Amino acid sequence: MLVIQDIEIKEVPCLVIENSVDVGKPLPLFVYHHGFQSAREHSLPIGYMLANKGFRVILPDALHHGVRENGINAFERSLAFWDIVMKNVEDTKLIYDYYQKQNLIENKQFFVAGTSMGGITTAAALVAHDFITGAGLLMGTAMLGSYAELLGERVRKEGARIADSELEAAHQMILPFDLSGQLEKLNRRPLFIWHGEKDSVIPFSFAKEFYEKAKEYYPDNGEITFMKAPGVGHKVNRAAMLAAADWFGSFISKDKR
């Protein structure tokens, strides 16, 4: 039977999903980051599926989201988008350290994935953290620089009052974490990419372009996969969740299956 706990890890509110018989035991660990304007509980369906594969699943609330919202309004949250992504990257390390110190990560198996902003977080985390075993980008993007430019264009079109210098500062902050420009950081770590072909928020073309470049770093292509969803917009469907859970489950050490 799967159980859910509500805990706080270094001031990061998290939901933990695991099998009741495995509470307190070492398990492969999976951190799943939610999307922009979402919250940790919205990731419970995919968290449940991953936990059923044998993972201990951690669903953290991002800065300015869920129980960490702290009264921030939608516009202020939008302006803080890249700060939120960077804090997610830091929080990933905090969660890793918390479980590593308790010897609760079995065989160093530590996976990270996320939806939309959570997928962007995951790509940045792959650059920052070499302890990540494998990762998943579900309608996110690893092309942080390109996406930052796109967001800047959208802000200007909407007439928001924000200085060009602020947009440029955000751009410069995230460029060191742009995985698309340093593909060697993949280091053949398993990578699952899913994207809807009709996505109007994060272009499908970003996922396709990144995959075409990234697959060259996986000689046998067995550790990277790209799933396209024809006719699907910016929404992770059930089929995507099931496919991701099955794919990640195949990378758990054989003695856990």
SS3 assignment, position 147: helix
> Closest by alpha carbon to 34, among 106, 144, 126, 115?
115
pLDDT of 164 reads: 72
Q: What is the pLDDT of residues 238-251, one digit of tens each?
A: 999 999 999 999 99
pLDDT-based confidence at residue 157 (cuts at 50, 70, 90):
confident
pLDDT tens, residue by residue, 166-177: 778 888 899 999
Q: Among 117, 73, 71, 70, which residue's Cα sits nearest to residue 91?
A: 117
Cβ-proximal residues to 56 (8 Å cutoff; 6+ apart), any chain? 16, 17, 18, 22, 27, 28, 29, 30, 99, 104
Expressed as residue numbers, the domain containing 190 is: 2-256
Beta strand 105-115 with 134-138 is: parallel
Q: Beta strands 27-33 and 56-60: pairing type?
A: parallel
- Domain total for the chain? 1
pTM for the structure as a whole: 0.95
The count of other CB atoms within 10 Å of the CB of residue 25 is: 11
Q: Locate 230 and state its tokens.
A: 């024809």
Which CATH number goes with the domain that contains 161?
3.40.50.1820
List Cβ neighbours of 186 (8 Å cut-off, separation of 6 or more). 126, 179, 214, 217, 218
pLDDT at 226 over 60: yes
Contacts of 219 (CB under 8 A, 6+ apart): none
Q: Where are the beta strands (DSSP E) in 10-142?
A: 12-19, 27-33, 56-60, 105-115, 134-138
Residue 256 scores a pLDDT above 50: no
Return phi, psi of residue 114, to 5°. -175, 165
Q: Which two tokens stand for residue 163?
A: 């200085």
Q: What pLDDT does 257 receive? A: 35
Query: In the prediction, which pLDDT does 159 show?
Result: 63
For tokens 């309608």, the residue is 139
Q: Is a pLDDT exceeding 50 seen at residue 95?
A: yes
Summarize pLDDT for 190-204 with one digit per residue, the tens.
999 999 999 999 999
